[in-house]
């Protein structure tokens, strides 16, 4: 008897979800194109094709808009990490994930956030979805790092956390952008150089 009602509700929910997906996609695109600071809420509204006030019915602040987009990025990362072939050596797993972040940036598909914005950090850290993803990715990578160190593939004298941060930092490495602007190398060459520098260093191998 109330089937029509439940169908209506589900339909409404689906519409809501679709609308919010459209918002998040626009936010993601703008974060990739110009970064958090340069992105305005007006632009987001215009990009989605709705009024700014409507945006605020879905997300309470600009920071929450960005956080929603970052949850999507983190989900992508979780999916990629899970799909890394288990039979690879730990070092090769780390290289694959790192290369993936480099390629995302080179393709213009990596959002850039200001690392010193405290209100943004607060919202990100208050997001359970984001933090769960970040922690899971960190755990998996951390395990690979320790395995690689035990196997003598990664310098065992480095604290694992330092290795983890160094890999995370590749996801916003300004070297990529500068080399790309130079126009002297293909994206693949740039990725190879930065990946090589990260793992092998600048020194010539002895």
Chain contacts with a copy of itself (rule: CB under 8 A): 34-35, 37-38, 91, 112, 114-116, 149, 152-156, 158-159, 161-163, 165-167, 169, 172-175, 177-179, 182, 184-185, 193, 196-206
Q: Contact at 8 Å (CB) between 32 and 109?
A: yes
Burial (CB count within 10 angstroms: exposed 0-12, middle 13-18, buried 19+), residue 199: middle
CA distance 11 to 194: 48
Binding mask 1-20 for DNA (x = CB under 7 A): -----------x---x--x-
Among 1, 53, 83, 202, the residue binding DNA under the rule CB under 7 A is: 53
Segment contacting DNA (CB under 7 A): 40-48, 69-77, 93-101, 186-194? 40-48
Q: Of 47, 56, 12, give the one whose Cα is nearest residue 27.
A: 47
Is 62 a binding residue for DNA by CB under 7 A? The answer is yes
Separation between Cα atoms, residue 139 and residue 167, nearest integer Å: 13
Supply the minimum distance, in Å, between the C-beta of residue 166 and a copy of itself: 6
- Round to whole Å and give the CA distance between 177 and 108: 10
The item of DNA, a copy of itself, none sharing an interface with residue 61, based on CB under 5 to 8 Å by kind, is: DNA
Task: Check binding of 63 to DNA (CB under 7 A).
Answer: yes
Q: How far is the CB of 130 from DNA (least distance, A)?
A: 18
CB of 190: closest distance to a copy of itself in angstroms? Answer: 8
CA dist 183 and 195 (Å) reads 18
* Smallest gap from residue 5 Cβ to DNA (A): 14
Per CB under 7 A, 51 contacts DNA: yes
User: C-alpha distances in angstroms, 16 versus 10, 21, 55, 61, 67?
Assistant: 10, 9, 12, 18, 18
């Amino acid at each position: 008897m109330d089937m029509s009602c439940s169908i209506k509700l589900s339909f409404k929910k689906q519409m809501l979800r679709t609308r919010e997906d459209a918002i998040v996609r626009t936010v993601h695109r703008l974060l990739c194109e110009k970064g958090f600071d340069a992105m305005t809420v007006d632009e987001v509204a215009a990009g989605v094709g709705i009024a700014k006030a409507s945006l605020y019915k879905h997300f309470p602040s600009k920071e929450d808009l960005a956080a929603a987009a970052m949850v999507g990025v983190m989900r992508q990362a979780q999916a990629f990490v899970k799909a890394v072939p288990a039979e690879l050596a730990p070092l090769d797993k780390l290289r694959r994930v790192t290369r993936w972040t480099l390629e995302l940036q080179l393709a213009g598909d990596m959002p850039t956030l200001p690392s010193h914005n405290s209100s943004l950090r607060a919202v990100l850290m208050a997001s359970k979805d984001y933090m769960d993803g970040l922690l899971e990715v960190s755990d998996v990578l951390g395990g690979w790092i320790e395995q690689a160190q035990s196997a003598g593939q990664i310098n065992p004298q480095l604290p694992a956390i330092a290795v983890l941060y160094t890999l995370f930092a590749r996801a916003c490495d300004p070297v990529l952008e500068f080399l790309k602007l130079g126009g002297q190398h293909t994206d693949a060459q740039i990725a190879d150089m930065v990946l090589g520098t990260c793992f092998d260093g600048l020194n010539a191998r002895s």
